[in-house]
Chains A and B, each alone.
Chain A
Amino acid sequence: MNTGPFILLHPDDNVLVCRQHAFRGQSITLDGDIVVLPDEITVGHKIARRDLKAGEKIIKYGAPIGSMKTDAARGAHIHMHNMQSDYIKSHTREVTGHGH
């Protein structure tokens, strides 16, 4: 059982999932190394297990779940700002009600 704030779901994964709210500047252990978190991470969100390049597939549960849009450093928050679907684009609440 993992004890830190992040879980590795599958050995092939290049992201980890947050299971306990973690703060910007907090030191965590990633594959034996100490990494300082550049972002605040809430439960259910992902961070990079290692440096990731634009175009690289993101692997979670041992399966591809999309691709990087930009580079990201180890420990960085991986979400809609730097990755995207290889199938159907995701949407946020701002798609309607523009200007409000």
Chain B
Amino acid sequence: MVTRIGDTNTPFQAWLRPDGRKGIRNVICVVYLVECAHHVARQIVSKCDDSEVHLIGFPGCYPNDYAYKMMEALCTHPNVGGAVLVSLGCEGFNREALKHHIEGSGRPVETYVIQNEGGTLETIRKGVEAVRRIQTIANQTPRGDMSVSELVIGTICGGSDGTSGITANPAVGRAFDTLGAAGAACIFEETGELVGCEKIMASRAITPELGAELEASVLKAEKYYTIMGYGSFAPGNAEGGLTTQEEKSMGAYSKSGSAPICGIIKPGDVPPSGGLYLLDVVPDGEPRFGFPNISDNAEIVEMIASGAHLTLFTTGRGSVVGSAISPVIKVCANPETYRKLSGDMDIDAGRIMEGRATLDEVGAEITDRVLRVAAGEQTLSEQMGHQEFILTYKTFDPVGPACLPLRGKQAF
């Protein structure tokens, strides 16, 4: 049993990007720009057979500002060393602008248009060669010290049950308190899963104006989900003992720990300082494109677009997902689930349920694991090749000035 407190003062080795940011992985992204190019892109990744070559993409043919902004943020994420773009040719995605943006970040990038390359097999052949070229360049990226204060860490819960809010979520909250105090930017999210907690949460804001914005973000989510007809509540939540949205919310909320809340960001916005931030994932305006996030990985991708180097994923029923680009550490809340799925769970927080560990001990174990994964240790989902990715249509307005009281006050 690991209960050693992770040393948050010791730097670890990271990839130093030309844009000044630092990454804990050196991933090459193969990017399909419409579903019609998905198979070709997937074949390129499969043939490369390299754990550091990941498939990401956007399925839609119609352009969308949010999806474009997300793709820019993802392809220039600090964990990414370069990209190969795969286009069918006639889709709406602005492949030229994306390529230009990636080049501007100092990363190698090549584009292949299936309609111009001679079809499926030729594009796959050229794409595999392109990945090798880009990886050779990315492997020359200099290494150097990175401190905890330069980390961005996300947290999400998936497959929650009646144990999540007692064990894994508050244990992550303890780790967030430690890592945030050491200067890391910590992101919690899913305002739809904070319905019922808005007043308690608002009282933790660093300014009253931010508190009002926090409450407004949850009211927006409640309105949105009410129009959708379902709360952010899955049948498995009920099977695991959760009865209502607000019960699930109270459990989910505990992932945020006890630190003051420094601001609200939207997908693709990087936190302007260390400390605790809420990611508002619910679209603005009238609902247009369906549910805010159709499954957990959509939220993980949004936190990665906001700079998350890694994600803490708490689960009671037992999710097995990982992610493209940034490692996912899974924290299992339910001791019975852990016994069934131990090969998928990095941390056994269910010990708390059975009196075999305290919240502080598991919180320290999570902090320690974050530091080790940041230093290069693979998570279980990474070892097994989990690289889930999903990006869909959304619409957002930029955050207002009250949402980021620290913007401009601290250099990022």
A90 touches which of B162, B166, B200, B243 (Cβ 8 Å): B243
Query: Contact between B233 and A91 (Cβ–Cβ < 8 Å)?
Result: yes
Which residues between 150 and 204 of chain B lie within 8 Å of chain A, taking CB atoms? 161-163, 165-166, 195-197, 200
Query: Contact between B238 and A79 (Cβ–Cβ < 8 Å)?
Result: yes
State the interface size on chain B (CB cutoff 8 A). Answer: 36
Residues of chain B within 8 A of A7, CB atoms compared: 166
Query: Contact between B354 and A66 (Cβ–Cβ < 8 Å)?
Result: no
Mask, B345-383, CB within 8 Å of A = 1, is: 000000001110000000000000000000000000000
Query: Contact between B336 and A93 (Cβ–Cβ < 8 Å)?
Result: no
From A86, which residue of chain B is reached at the shortest CB distance?
B246
From A67, which residue of chain B is reached at the shortest CB distance?
B244
Residues of chain B within 8 A of A44, CB atoms compared: 161-163, 240-242, 316, 334
**CB within 8 Å of A: which residues of B?**
161-163, 165-166, 195-197, 200, 222, 225-226, 230-231, 233, 235, 237-238, 240-247, 250-251, 254, 316, 334-336, 353-355
* Dominant SS among interface residues on chain B: loop
14 sampled A-B residue pairs with Cβ under 8 A: A3-B355, A19-B354, A43-B162, A43-B163, A44-B162, A46-B241, A60-B247, A61-B254, A63-B200, A88-B225, A88-B231, A89-B231, A90-B233, A91-B231
B238 touches which of A17, A18, A92 (Cβ 8 Å): A92
Residues of chain A within 8 A of B163, CB atoms compared: 17, 19, 43-44
Query: Contact between B244 and A90 (Cβ–Cβ < 8 Å)?
Result: yes
Residues of chain A within 8 A of B250, CB atoms compared: 60-61, 63, 65
A45 to B233, CA, bound (A): 16
B196 touches which of A9, A19, A20, A87 (Cβ 8 Å): A87
Query: Contact between A66 and B162 (Cβ–Cβ < 8 Å)?
Result: no
Residues of chain B within 8 A of A52, CB atoms compared: none
Query: Contact between A46 and B195 (Cβ–Cβ < 8 Å)?
Result: no
Query: Contact between B162 and A18 (Cβ–Cβ < 8 Å)?
Result: yes
Query: Contact between A87 and B246 (Cβ–Cβ < 8 Å)?
Result: yes
Asked if A80 is at the interface of the complex by the 8 Å CB criterion, the answer is yes
* Dominant SS among interface residues on chain A: loop
Asked if A78 is at the interface of the complex by the 8 Å CB criterion, the answer is yes
The number of inter-chain residue pairs (CB within 8 angstroms) is 113
Asked if A84 is at the interface of the complex by the 8 Å CB criterion, the answer is yes
A16 to chain B, nearest CB (A): 11
Query: Contact between B161 and A65 (Cβ–Cβ < 8 Å)?
Result: no
Query: Contact between A90 and B245 (Cβ–Cβ < 8 Å)?
Result: yes
A9 to B196, CA, bound (A): 18
A43 to B242, CA, bound (A): 11
Query: Contact between B196 and A93 (Cβ–Cβ < 8 Å)?
Result: no
Query: Contact between A1 and B335 (Cβ–Cβ < 8 Å)?
Result: no
Closest 10 CB pairs of A and B: A44-B162, A44-B241, A45-B241, A88-B231, A85-B244, A65-B247, A66-B244, A93-B235, A44-B161, A19-B353
Residues of chain A within 8 A of B200, CB atoms compared: 63
Query: Contact between B195 and A88 (Cβ–Cβ < 8 Å)?
Result: yes
Query: Contact between B245 and A85 (Cβ–Cβ < 8 Å)?
Result: yes
Residues of chain B within 8 A of A79, CB atoms compared: 238, 241, 243
A9 to chain B, nearest CB (A): 7
Residues of chain A within 8 A of B247, CB atoms compared: 60, 65-66
A85 touches which of B197, B231, B316, B354 (Cβ 8 Å): B231
From B197, which residue of chain A is reached at the shortest CB distance?
A63
Query: Contact between A84 and B241 (Cβ–Cβ < 8 Å)?
Result: no
Residues of chain A within 8 A of B353, CB atoms compared: 19-20, 43
A84 touches which of B230, B244, B316 (Cβ 8 Å): B244
Given the interface pairs A46-B241, A65-B244, A88-B222, the reply to whether A17 lies near B354 with Cβ below 8 Å is: no
Residues of chain A within 8 A of B165, CB atoms compared: 61
